[in-house]
Structure 1
Amino acid sequence: MTQDPFALFDDWFAAARASEINDSNAMALATVDGEGRPSVRMVLLKGHGPEGFVFYTNQQSRKAGQLAANANAALLFHWKSLRRQVRIEGPVSTVSDAMADAYFATRHRDSQLGAWASDQSRPLDTRETFERRFDEAKARFEGGDVPRPPHWSGYLVTPERIEFWQDREYRLHERRLFLRADAAAGAGWSETLLYP
């Protein structure tokens, strides 16, 4: 019985939103640099659907540099209260300017200003330097909307592989693996079980 993995994700994500105390949309993002060295960090899922999974960041950050060198990534959702995980792997592309603008406009004003003030992932001499830059951005955009910085956008992970992991007693876990037959052609998904 093959099920649409996006429908299954929607079900699991709805359960997580109801049960997880903080950040049910938190996901680990794994990338590699041009020399194959891995790096992982937590980001927030800000959109998802059959096209893929979206997060936003500074395009001058370390993660963005790694994605420029190798446009593939892995995501991991771990919902401890549900004893579930979802693993996603696939190529990454940037979202459209219109999509990035629309999301940026929904962010809290201080988060918008922070995107202008931060040289994300670069060395910072003192916290006061960042706070001064934040105050400068606040003054610059006083009385108006804060536009999206040109170096800030979103990324879409287009899944080729999605695994749903459900904890079971005695480590007899259930693992369902979905593989996209041909992502470029928009082909469907195959499903198989994996040994725990």
Structure 2
Amino acid sequence: MPLSPPAKRQLLHLRDIELRGWQREDGLFDIEAHLLDRKTYAFENDDRGTMEPGAPLHGMWLRLTVDLDMVIVAAEASSDHTPYAICPGAAPNFTRLAGLRIGPGFNRAVAERVGGTAGCTHLRELLGQMATVAFQTLYPIRAERERAETERLMASGERPARKPAMVGTCIAYAEDSPVTLARWPWLKDAVAGE
């Protein structure tokens, strides 16, 4: 269902973000993002002079190479268009993301490595969305691995040591939702209070 009809308005700013998840032949995964900012009007920029309508103000790329455990093996950033000549100097610092695991604490770890003046606000903003795309890209493989482990445990009479990380993250994965209980039937006992 679309949004309700808007009030009369004028478009001023366009931000296009493109995200892609790739499986590589070597078993790793590339998560790529491209950000493009443009204005619909001309304005003056201290470093670039007159910016014509539609000219890219920001044009940035970021690639994270991750393994099956969501550990960043390599990171690469590039800035084609920036408002200031100094901005591209932040891109090499994003290699510092190598070794981080996408999961709990990721945003804090990112801030420690490329936060503040060590990084670029726009490239950092992409990382949260890239983490989501990494989960979506690796989901089928990780879910199958999780299913096989759960089946092995259940067949041996054991239960998994903890709830799956996705439980409790949204309405579909509420602990007592039909989606959760169908995917992880062993949680039914916990929901029933046993």
TM-score bucket of the superposed structures, by smaller chain:
under 0.3
TM-score normalised by L of structure 1: 0.20
Name the structure where strand makes up a greater proportion of residues.
1
Q: Which has the larger radius of gyration?
A: 2
- Considering Cα pairs closer than 8 Å and 6+ residues apart, tell me whether 1 or 2 has the greater RCO: 1
